[in-house]
Amino acid sequence: MMLASHVPYSAKAAERYVQRPSVTDDDALITSAVSEDTVRLLTHAAYREAKLLQSDQKPIALACTAALQTDRVRRGRDHAWIGIEHPLAFGVREVDLTGGDRNEQEERLSAALLETLTIAVDWLTSADR
């Protein structure tokens, strides 16, 4: 069951979500929207929220930050970071999204998110035995 979903589109929104808003640009916690550090912060925040919403369970938190094809000018390559957290495990992975159009990138990213969740659930199911 999904407990919550958030899409912090700006750095300030992401910092608010991870519960550490910056006062100035110099003390910003999130310096790159699509990075391993950022997905770690988002994953931990998602896990904290899941525990608050359903403290009697062992939730799985899933977070993602991505740079996909756009008509805006931006630096960097097309890629994503995915994070997953559970009381027994934490992990992050990078997904290369170069090539293809925006729709193809979204499909590949969706598949990577589902694959990450499936691997985690399979591992946790076998760990419970």
- Give the C-alpha separation, 129 to 126, whole Å: 6
* Share of residues in the chain with pLDDT > 70 (%): 88
Domain ranges of the chain: 34-127
Higher pLDDT, 7 or 83: 83
pLDDT digits (tens, 9 = 90+) for 70-83: 887 777 899 999 99
**Which neighbouring-strand residues pair with 61?**
85
Q: Rounded mean pLDDT of 94-100?
A: 94
pLDDT recorded at residue 27: 53
Contact 82, 92 (CB under 8 A): yes
At 20 the pLDDT is 60
Model confidence at 89, in pLDDT bands (50, 70, 90)? confident
pLDDT at 107 over 80: yes
pTM over the 0.75 mark:
yes
Interior/surface letters 55-86, b for 16+ CB within 10 angstroms, e for the rest: eeeebbbbbbbbbbbeeeeeeeebbbbbbbbb
- Compare 72 and 127 and report the one with higher pLDDT: 72
- How high is the pLDDT of residue 71? 80
Q: What are the φ/ψ torsions at residue 94 (nearest 5 degrees)?
A: -100, 145
Helix (H) or strand (E) holding 66: strand 61-67
Q: Give the model's confidence band at 126: pLDDT under 50 very low, under 70 low, under 90 confident, else very high.
A: confident
Q: Tell me the C-alpha distance between 84 and 17, whole Å.
A: 16
